[in-house]
Amino acid sequence: MGKVVTVSKDDKGDYHTVQEAINVIPSGNKEKVTVFIFNGVYKEVVTISEDKDFVSLIGENVNKTKLTYDNYSGKEKPGGGTYGTSGSASVYIYGNDFTAENLTFENSFDEKSVDVKDEQAVAVYTKGERQVFKNTRFIGNQDTLYTKEGTQYFYKCYIEGDVDFIFGGSQAVFEKCDIMSLTRGSSTVNGYVTAPSTRITDEYGYLFIKSRLLSNAEEGTVYLGRPWHPGGDPHAIGSVVFRESYLGSHINKQGWTDMSGFSYRDARFYEYKNHGPGVAFNDSREQLTREEANQYTVQNVLNGWNPKEKVESEG
C-alpha cells in the first residue's frame, strides 16, 4: 500500500481533516500514498493538486465516511463575485493515478433553501489521468459529477442527481454503476442524466456498461443526455454510449434532447443491447451494430489504459 496516513474526527487518526493529510504529501510525489479515512462526516473542501499523483482515499465504510460541502454556483464569494459551477465542488482531483474507494462524496446544497437562478452544485470535479473510483457514492442534484478532462473509471458506484448530473469532456467508463435520477416534481421534464462536452478530436467520451438507470421520477420524464457546448464551442461534440444496461421507465422515449440551441442529432449518442422499460427503438435513438459496439471497450475509451482486470480481481 505504500505510505499510509489516517484521518479521524477524534484522536485515533494522524489528522482531523482530509485536507491536512493531503497537505503533507510532498509536491512531485511518485510513490503510492493511502489516506485512510475513519467513519464520520468531513465538511471541508478538499483539493488534490496536480503535483500530487498516486494518492488513494480509502474510507472505512461507503455509507458512513462522507466528504461534503455546500457551495453552489450562485453563492457569493467572500472576495466578491460568485463561485460558478467550476468553483462549487466539494472535492477537486487533479492528480494522476488517483484512487477512491468506500467513500461518499457529497454536495449538500439544498436547492429549496435559497431563491437563486444558478443552482449548479458539484460534488466532485476531476481533471487527471487514470483515476479510479470503486464502490463510491456521489450525492447531489444539478451537476453532481464534473469530469472536466482526463480518464476516469467508475466501478460499482452510485451516482445521484437530476439535471446534467454527469457532465464534462473527459473519457470515462461507468461499469456496473447505479445511476439515480431524482425527481424534481415535474410531470413533463425531471432532468438529464448526462451533458457531455467531448472534444471532436477525442474518439470516445462516456461509456456506460452493465449499469442501471434508476429513478423516483414519473415515467418518461428524464432524458439520457443532451449536448453541452461550453461557451458555445462548436468543437465540443458530445459522445455517450449506453450498452447492456437497464433503463428504468423514467427514461423518455425520445432518449436524447437539445441544449442551448445545439441539436442532439449532431452529437455522438448511441445505445446497444439495453433492456428495461426505458428502452425504445426509433429514429431518435441510434443503435450501434455489433461491430461498432465492439470498439467501445474500457481500454479503447480510456486511451489504452485498462484498469478493469485489476479492479475486478480486488473484489
Catalytic annotation, residues:
164
Task: Tell me if 156 sits within 8 A of 137, measured CB to CB.
Answer: no
How far does Cα 216 stand from its chain's mean position? 20
Please provide the distance, in angstroms rounded to a whole number, between the alpha carbons at the two ends of the chain.
16
Please, what's the b/e burial string for 137-165 (b: 16 or more CB within 10 A of its CB; e: otherwise)?
bbbbbbbbbbbbbbbbbbbbbbbbbbbbb
The grid coordinates of residue 26 equal: 510532498
Cα 152 to Cα 74: distance, rounded to the nearest angstrom:
28
Alpha-carbon distances of 233 from 145, 147, 195, 261, rounded to whole Å: 21, 17, 14, 12
* Distance between CA atoms of residues 91 and 68, nearest Å: 8
> Hey, what's the cell of 57?
482515499
Report the distance separating Cα 31 and Cα 36, nearest Å.
Answer: 16
| In contact, 237 and 268? CB cutoff 8 Å | yes
Determine the Cα–Cα distance for residues 109 and 123; give it in Å rounded to an integer. Answer: 10
Give yes or no for a contact between 177 and 242, defined as CB atoms under 8 angstroms apart: no
| Amino acid at the residue 84 | G
Q: How many helices (H) and strands (E) does the chain have?
A: 4, 23
CA-wise closest residue to 170 among 140, 228, 126: 126
